Amino acid sequence: MLTTMAIRARALEDMIRGIRIDILKVMASNPRRISGLHLTYHYPPGFSATPEQRKELEHIAMTCPVKESIHPDIALEIDFNWPE
């Protein structure tokens, strides 16, 4: 998702430098499988974006081809932990 953001938002490329994403894999049993993914975006100190830029970055991430390729049975929780 972050790669797609960098490719599609070249004008915002400097903005996304330093962002990190924590990923939590949720497992189910019987059969054992991945049942969910929780992604949390963390922005670097001093990060600043207008509401429009935030909306654009979220849209790019949420329409990422990899995200869209994840099986619908896998629950996705995505938090864009924007700094105040």
Over residues 35-45, the mean pLDDT reads 92
Residue 5 and residue 2: Cα distance in Å, rounded?
5
pLDDT at 45: 82
Over residues 56-83, the mean pLDDT reads 92
Q: Does domain 2-81 have CATH number 3.30.300.20?
A: yes
Closest CA to 20 of 39, 37, 38: 39
Over residues 35-48, the mean pLDDT reads 90
User: Residue 13: is its pLDDT beyond 90?
Assistant: no
* 33-42 and 20-28 strand pairing: antiparallel
Mean pLDDT across the chain: 88
Over residues 32-39, the mean pLDDT reads 96
The rounded Cα 47 to chain-centroid distance in angstroms is 16
Over residues 55-63, the mean pLDDT reads 90
Cβ atoms of residues 53 and 12 within 8 Å = yes
